[in-house]
Amino acid sequence: MPYHIVLSADAILDIDDAVEYYNKVSAGPGFEFTDTLDVFFNKISHLPTASAISYDNIRVKPIDTFHPEGRWNTWC
């Protein structure tokens, strides 16, 4: 059974800002960004302990990052 992921209000605002920025750079990348987040949130909800602990019992999951030149860089 997958876990429920809860985002803080600040996290939601940051995501909204990123989507707005990416869509100003070019039509569509902001929505591609949210699709990428959805994939990783799904992975985290099913395997929350799969990522290494970075500090204070907090796990970090690197995601694909968008470059304004239109290239995606995949982090392990």
3-state secondary structure of 5: coil
Which tops the pLDDT comparison, 76 or 13?
Answer: 13
Is 37 a domain residue?
A: yes
Domains in the chain, number: 1
Which tops the pLDDT comparison, 12 or 60?
Answer: 12
Is 2 a domain residue?
A: no
3-state secondary structure of 26: coil
Q: What is the pLDDT of residue 76?
A: 42
Is the pLDDT at 63 greater than 80? The verdict is no
Is 49 a domain residue?
A: yes
3-state secondary structure of 66: strand
Is the pLDDT at 37 greater than 80? The verdict is yes
Domain that includes residue 17, residue range: 9-73
Is 26 a domain residue?
A: yes
Cα gap 27→21, rounded to integer Å: 10
Q: What is the pLDDT of residue 39?
A: 86
Is 1 a domain residue?
A: no
